[in-house]
Structure 1
Amino acid sequence: MPLVVNGMERSFTFKKGNEMIILSDPHPSDTPEAIMSYYSNLYPELTTASVHGPEIKEDKAVYEFKTTIGTKG
């Protein structure tokens, strides 16, 4: 019996105000940085964000986009 390797599903999150936005993975072969760039058209605050993770949650690799806009100190 051959061994079958399946990739782990990814999702991306970032905090906007008091809300946590969850973004799906539009291109599984792209890097997390490329996905952040893709979503920066919809969420301009992602242009200055950085990628953190992944953290494994419920059989998904969850990456967090963290931005410094609107933070003090």
Structure 2
Amino acid sequence: MATTTLKTSSLPREFVFNGTRIPDPDPWMSIEQVRDLLTPSYPDIATATMTGPEDTGTSLRYTFARAIGSKG
């Protein structure tokens, strides 16, 4: 009788904002914690919408898109 061994591994996360690829600062942080960490460097992330994760085959990609709206 043949046996099959399954190997599992987790894909690293990556974040994309305004065409810029941002590596995962800490895999143990939640998405909201990553957003809070990146907000000082990328202020528009605070109000951006997030989509994902998208499996790219080599990573799980989360994309932040600017919130589009008109000012008063």
TM-score by length of 1: 0.75
Residues 12-32 of structure 1 deviation map (CA, whole Å, 9 limit, x = unaligned): 0011xxxx0110001101111
Structure whose residues are more often strand by fraction: 1
Structure 2 match to 1:36: 35
What is the deviation of 1:3?
6.0
Unaligned stretches of 5+ residues in structure 2: none
What percent identity do the matched residue pairs reach?
27
Q: 1:50 to 1:33 in 2, by over 3 A?
A: farther
Mapped pair 1:45 → 2:48: no
8 Å Cα contact 1:8-1:61 kept in structure 2 = yes
State the distance in 1 between where 2:7 and 2:37 align: 30
TM-score by length of 2: 0.76
Matching residue's letter, 1:14 = F
Q: Show the 5 A alignment for 1:6-17.
A: 6-15=9-18
Unaligned stretches of 5+ residues in structure 1: none
8 Å Cα contact 2:49-2:67 kept in structure 1 = no
Q: Structure 1: which 4+ aligned runs deviate by more than 4 Å?
A: none
Structure 1 match to 2:20: 21
Residues 21-65 of structure 1 deviation map (CA, whole Å, 9 limit, x = unaligned): 110001101111211111111011111112210001132000001
* Coordinate RMSD, CA, aligned: 2.0
- Indicate the structure (1 or 2) with the bigger Cα radius of gyration: 2
